[in-house]
Amino acid sequence: MLRHFVLGLGAVGVVLLALAGTGVAEELKVGITSEMQSVTVETADGPMEIRRIQDQNHEITGEFAKTSRACPPFCIQPFTPAEGVTTIGEVELIEMLKDPAALVVDSRTVDWFQGGTIPGAISLPYTEVGDRLNRLGCEPDFDGWNCTEAKRVALFCNGLWCGQSPTAIRAMIAAGYPAERIFYYRGGMQSWRVLGLTVTGESG
Q: What is the pLDDT of residue 43?
A: 95
Q: What is the pLDDT of residue 201?
A: 81
Instruction: Name the fold adopted by 31-194.
Output: Oxidized Rhodanese; domain 1 (3.40.250)
Q: What is the pLDDT of residue 142?
A: 85
* For residue 73, cis peptide bond before it (omega within 30 degrees of 0): yes
Phi, psi of 16 (to 5 degrees): -65, -40
Q: What is the pLDDT of residue 203?
A: 52
In the sheet that holds 152-156, the strands lie side by side as: 86-88, 182-185, 152-156, 102-106, 122-123
Q: What is the pLDDT of residue 186?
A: 98
Q: What is the pLDDT of residue 13?
A: 41
Phi, psi of 49 (to 5 degrees): -85, 135
Please list the ranges in the chain whose pLDDT falls under 70: 1-25, 203-204
